[in-house]
Every structure is written in C-alpha cells, then in structure tokens.
Amino acid sequence: MLWIKAFHIVFVVSWFAGLFYLPRIFVNLALAPADSRAERERLLLMAKKLYRFVTPIGVLAIGLGLWLWFGYGFAGGWLHAKTALVIGLVGYHLWCGRLLAEFAGGNSTKTHVWFRFFNEVPVLALVAICILVVVKPF
C-alpha cells in the first residue's frame, strides 16, 4: 500500500506542477502583444506540450488514489470531500484545455489579470485537499 501511496503523491505533485504552470503561460500569452508572432507561437507550443504531458499524469494520480480508496478500504467524510475537490480540479484541467484551444484559435478574450486570479484556484484546492487527507477532520 505504501508503494501505491508513494507513487500517488509523486503523480499528484507532477500534476500540480502542470496546473500551476499552465495558467502562468496563459498570463504571458494574454500579455504578449498581438504582433509578436514568434513569442506567441513559442508560448503556445510550450502550453500545448505541457497540457499533453500533464494530462496522463493527472489520470495516474487519480487512478492510484482510487486504488488506495477501493483497494485498501479507506473511508470517511474527508475522502468524499477530497474527491469532490478532485472532481473540481479535473474540471479546472479540462477548462485549461478549452482556454488553450481559444488561444490557438486566436480568439481568447480574457485579460492577464483574469488569468492571474484563475492561476490561484489550484493553490486553494491543494491546501484544502492536503488538510483533508492528512488531518482527516471529519
């Protein structure tokens, strides 16, 4: 069980690296002047590669979490609250995919300020999830 939990944490950390960095690239894309074609294409390529790389990592993080849950009989309100937050994170991840498609299509309308607030969402989720799974308050 400890090997599964160890790799669960490894993939969780890697997934969050992507969830933290992708919106940061969006901030820079929103800031990049419309005529700076080379810079926009470089940022877009980085974002596409990162999204493609981090998606299977997220799937593995969740898969190993479900293995822990159903394979080792974990239970409790904390796990339900945690899973609800993780479902929210999956929605956030997919939303990043849609925002990336908007940038690729040249029709993103959101400002860099909007993306700065958007970038903070995974931070709040991470804090809440870690408190739930380590402290297990309910």
DSSP annotation of 76: S
- Which residue lies nearest ligand HEM, judged by its C-beta? 65
Which among 6-14, 18-26, 94-102, 113-121 is the span making contact with ligand HEM, rule CB under 6 A?
Answer: 6-14
Task: Between 17 and 126, name the residue whose CB sits nearer to ligand HEM.
Answer: 126
Q: Mask of contacts with ligand HEM, 56-85, x by CB under 6 A?
A: -----xx--xx-xx----x-------xx--
Q: Please state, in angstroms and rounded to a whole number, the distance separating the CA atoms of residues 70 and 123.
A: 27
Taken in order 48, 52, 55, 57, is the CA torsion positive or negative?
A: negative
Q: Is 135 in the site for ligand HEM (CB under 6 A)?
A: no
Q: Side-chain half-sphere of 69: how many Cα atoms within 13 Å? A: 15
Pick the binder of ligand HEM from 22, 54, 86, 99 (CB under 6 A). 86
Q: How far are the Cα atoms of 13, 24, 57, 122, 130 from residue 29, in angstroms, in the given order?
A: 25, 9, 24, 19, 31
Which residues are near ligand HEM by CB under 6 A? 5, 8-9, 12, 61-62, 65-66, 68-69, 74, 82-83, 86, 89, 126, 129-130, 133-134
